[in-house]
Amino acid sequence: MPATDSRALAFSRRRLLQAAGAACVVPAAFAQDGYPSKSINLIVPFAAGGTTDVVVRAIAQAMTPRLGKPIVIENVPGAGANIGAAKAAASAPDGYTVLLMSTAHTINPAMYSKPGYTQDSFAPVGSIGASPCWLFVGEKSPFKTMQELVAALKANPGKYTYGSGGSGTTAHLAVELLKRRYGLHATHIPYKASPQAFTDIIAGTVDFGMNPVTGTDALVKSGRLRALAIGSDARMPAFADVPTLTEVGLPGVDVLGWFGLVVPKGTPAPIVATLEAALRQAASDPGVRASLAGMGTIARPSSKEEFGKFIQAETGRWSDLVAAIGAKAD
């Protein structure tokens, strides 16, 4: 697959700062006809209690006073986040159903023959934030640096393995992107769930993995996993000793575990604007930003237009990679 300039896929810092600054001066907006007049249902296509679920609840709580009505979280997990997305796509476009969209929803259309939705099923509201992926080994691993691991992968084709929560997950495709770009060799070991992969990586029966910081930060902090490099444009303050992939000579593999909000296509523009303003204000709130940072997530508020372009770029990026490696859903 031709290398994709990661800069074209990432939100620019300048535009994000502009968006955040604008959010600070946007008043609490209410659409025509008194929207919202009742609670808003936010479909989260993941199980309750997970890190993504915790992050979105913080955002929903911050949006509630800005909308004047509560946001009720509905967890609809299953089929790699497809079931929740399909339910949202089939909902009335009246502003009372919102979907948490994530990286999975730009991968799944290429992985599943009938995911139950397309990107045209939704209208973007805006981005919440992102968690960069980092590559890690277990606490017993002989590899202390990314350079050591890369040298071993190149010198021993077929010897080493990496684990993920299943084919087509961000964790799987992030490693495949790294492999294709730099001629590395490692065998994929898919699991039913990410924690199972982490357990075997810690035990040393699987050599390494690559996942978003959110959800793995506690294992790294405890020393059970050792992060070798992170796929972001700068080091994370909470893990300042972990170099970026660019710093270790592997640029262009900036993979994010990201999420934002969308609504069913056809939702009236004034209603989308109301949700967009509330979301941008919530994601720009210093308390919310600090809360997300504590979970390994960088708040990245954006306009609906910016988020829409990002979704399109990510969909194309992963579609190309899935086709190139012939990946199929487990």
Please give the pLDDT value at position 233. Answer: 85
Within-domain flag for 245? no
Report, in this order, helix, strand and coil percent for the chain, each rounded to 5. Answer: 45, 20, 35
Tell me, yes or no, whether 318 lies in a domain: yes
Tell me what the pLDDT averaged over the chain comes to.
Answer: 89
Query: What amino acid occupies position 319?
Result: S
Q: How many CA atoms lie within 13 A of 77 on its CB side?
A: 8
Q: Would you say residue 307 has pLDDT above 80?
A: yes
* Residue 106 and residue 83 share a domain: yes
Provide the domain count of the chain. 2
Q: What is the pLDDT of residues 219-278, one digit of tens each?
A: 999 999 999 999 988 899 889 999 999 999 999 898 889 999 999 999 999 999 999 999
Are both 228 and 264 inside the same structural domain? no
Do 51 and 214 meet the contact criterion of CB atoms below 8 Å apart? Answer: yes
Report the CATH number at residue 191: 3.40.190.10
Q: Which residue has the higher pLDDT, 238 or 309?
A: 309
- Cβ-contact 174, 314 below 8 angstroms: no
Q: Are residues 166 and 221 in the same domain?
A: yes
Range scoring the smallest mean pLDDT among 37-46, 54-63, 160-169, 292-301: 292-301
Residue 27 lies in a domain: yes
- Rounded to whole angstroms, the Cα distance separating 191 from 210 reads 13
What pLDDT is stored for residue 180 in this prediction?
Answer: 94
DSSP-derived secondary structure letter, 195: H
Distance CA 88, CA 4 (A): 31
For the segment 70-99, what is each residue's pLDDT rounded down to a tens digit? Answer: 999 999 999 889 999 999 999 999 999 999
Buried-exposed string 145-180: b where 16+ CB fall within 10 A, e elsewhere: ebeebbebbeeeeeebbbbbbbbbbbbbbbbbbbbe
Query: Are 293 and 147 members of one domain?
Result: no
Among 179, 205, 239, give the residue marking a domain's end. Answer: 239
Asked whether residue 75 falls in the same domain as residue 136, the answer is no
Is 244 a member of any domain?
no
Is the per-residue pLDDT at 15 higher than 50?
Answer: no
Q: What's the pLDDT at 330?
A: 59
Question: Does 170 have pLDDT greater than 90?
Answer: yes
Claim to verify: residue 124 and residue 150 sit in the same structural domain: no
Range of the domain at 107: 6-131+257-325
Pair 271, 230 in one domain: no
Q: Both 104 and 208 in a single domain?
A: no
Q: What is the pTM of this model?
A: 0.84
Q: What is the CATH number of the domain that holds 317?
A: 3.40.190.150
Per-residue model confidence (pLDDT) at position 26:
37
Lowest mean pLDDT among 17-21, 190-194, 269-273, 290-294: 17-21
**Same domain for 111 and 138:** no
pLDDT digits (tens, 9 = 90+) for 121-157: 999 999 999 999 999 999 999 999 999 999 999 999 9
Query: What's the CA gap between 209 and 171, in Å, rounded?
Result: 7
180 and 67 share one domain: no
Q: Tell me how far apart the alpha carbons of residues 103 and 115 are, in angstroms, rounded to a whole number.
A: 14
Residues 106, 141: one domain?
A: no
**pLDDT exceeds 90 at position 54:** no
Q: Is the pLDDT of residue 25 over 60?
A: no
Place of tokens 């080091």: 235
Residue 248 belongs to some domain of the structure: no
Between 26-30, 182-186, 308-312, the lowest mean confidence (pLDDT) is in: 26-30
pLDDT of residue 22: 40
In this predicted model, what pLDDT tens digit does every residue of 171-218 receive, in sequence order? 999 999 999 999 999 999 999 889 999 999 999 999 999 999 988 999
Q: Which long-range contacts (CB under 8 A, 24 or more apart) does 319-326 make?
A: 319/109, 319/110, 320/1, 320/2, 320/4, 321/1, 321/173, 321/176, 321/177, 321/180, 322/107, 322/110, 322/111, 322/168, 322/173, 323/110, 324/1, 324/180, 325/176, 325/180
